Structure 1
Amino acid sequence: MTLLGTPQDLAAHLRPEGATVAVIGFHRDPSRAAHYVPEYLHRRGFRVIPVNPALAEAGEEFFGSPAAAQLADITVPVDIVVIFRRSDKVYLHLDDLLALNPRPRLVWMQQGIRDPQTAAALTAAGVDVVQDRCIMVDHRSLT
């Protein structure tokens, strides 16, 4: 489900032009979507910041950015937050998402991930939301 109006609205969000993407639930295994999708975005010009407490604790770095334990640890403005968490865990990140200053312009819940209540709260706060879609697939089809 997309809370954006048109494919053009979506395409406007998916132009890199220096955009920073934080990836909640990033995975170190390149065979997992939570790795190869952010890697795809990185190769297309997005700055990707992995968000995973275990990887941050280990001091790991991916795509030139150190892993962050949580969104609050990121010190640069985040344009897009991509979520790779189970639907029943998304709400746990709502306060962190709303605390980002400035707020992201888009929160993207990957394919299979939906949380209508969290999406409604983000939308009410002025953040566009996409649910249950693959950002890599949409990026390929829209750009």
Structure 2
Amino acid sequence: MDYPDDFIHAVLTRTKVIALVGASANAARPSHRVGEFLLTNGYRVIGVNPGLAGQKLFGETVYADLASIPDEVDMVDIFRNRDAVPGIVDAALARWPDLQTIWMQLEITHDAAAQKAQARGVDVIQDRCPKIEIARLGL
């Protein structure tokens, strides 16, 4: 996927709160490392993982699913396999009518789910990592 740098820059600078779907408490897992990086770079990161629901991660309560998060989020960052993406996108669109961004991590793409989100006015980034993009763009 090819995205203009100014588009990625705009997404990352307007985003303040991120729901990290597939968050892990294991520091060796990519989702944990990315969540920690985002946290240290000023983002509020809310973990989503049914196995960790009710626990604290990134200084926040972890939720079983997107529908359970009581707060508004700007971005849903997906660390799940592509088969899970349509359900995650549907849940995100149902939960937050004003959601700004769906972000799919490296090697995760789903064109139909992306098109559905874009039709609702949501920006979509696929097969990219915000940690890598923040470093690359010097944010």
Q: TM-score range by the shorter chain?
A: over 0.9
2:17 aligns to what? 20
Higher relative contact order (CA 8 A, sep 6+): 1
Give the TM-score normalised by the residue count of structure 1: 0.90
1:8 aligns to what? 6
Once superposed, what is the RMSD of the aligned Cα atoms? 1.4
Matched, 1:90 2:79: no
Shift, 1:36, TM fit: 0.4
Amino acid at match of 2:11: H
Secondary structure at the residue paired with 2:92?
Answer: helix
1:124 is matched with which residue: 113, 119, 124?
A: 119
Normalising by structure 2, report the TM-score. Answer: 0.93
What do the CA deviations read for 1:103-142 (whole angstroms, capped 9, x no partner)? 3211110001010100000000100000011111011112
Contact 1:87 1:115 (C-alpha < 8 Å) held by counterparts: yes
- 131-140 or 101-110, which moves further after superposition? 101-110
Q: Return the alpha-carbon distance in structure 2 between the equivalents of residues 39 and 102 of structure 1.
A: 27
**Equivalent residue number for residue 113 of structure 1:** 108
The Cα shift of 1:16 comes to 6.4
Contact 1:51 1:68 in 2 (8 A): yes
Identity %: 38
Matches within 5 A, 1:66-77: 66-77=61-72
Query: Partner of 1:54 in structure 2?
Result: 51
Q: Which runs of 4+ in 1 moved over 4 A?
A: none
Aligned in 2, Cα 1:129/1:16: closer, same or farther, shift over 3 Å? Answer: closer
Distance 1:16 1:47, change over 3 A: farther
What 5-or-longer segments of structure 1 have no aligned partner? none
Alpha-carbon contact 1:16-1:46 (below 8 Å) kept: no
Provide Cα deviations, 1:14-57, integer angstroms capped at 9, x if missing partner: 1267x10000111111111011001100000000000001100x
